[in-house]
A = this chain, B = another copy of it.
Amino acid sequence: MNYSKGTNYALHTMLYLATQKDNPVVGVQELAKHQLVSPTYLSKILTKLTKYGLVESYSGAQGGYRLSRDKYEISFLNIIQAIEGNTPLFKGCDSNGPGCLIEAVMKESEKKMEEYLQLRTIGDVADQHEQTKLEDE
């Protein structure tokens, strides 16, 4: 029970894209280099993000990816669900029916987490990232 590595890669990739000026198209090679991941594997993750509508892909030479909408409109929850799916963490009370009290508690706890992840956007964190970089200098 933990987040897949793909989610980690996806979050860092999105953060990298969000810190770029003027939202340019960035190739997979460059994205992969910053995380020590194979470009082919990262492209699979980016495919998921594309299907989920978080990034746009551009084929051909000088192609690559860029954010498909404003970085402040992309929450952590969006990215996580794009990779992990939006299936609930807890399931299996089917035999006990929808009135299972345990399921209710688990779903509520999951909701608490998702509410926070929905609040935080990749743009916010990108700004924080810029801030700390300036402080270092």
Contacts and interface: CB of A to CB of B under 8 A. Distances in A.
- Most chain B CB inside 10 Å of its own CB: which residue of A5, A87, A89, A102: A102
A132 interface: yes
A89 B132 contact: no
Copies of this chain in the oligomer: 2
A95 to B, nearest CB: 7
Contacts of A67: none
Contacts of A87: 2
Contact of A8 (B8, B93, B101, B128): B93
Interface of A: 1-5, 7-8, 11-12, 15, 36, 76, 84, 87-93, 95-96, 99, 101-102, 105-106, 108-110, 112-113, 115-117, 120, 125, 128-129, 132
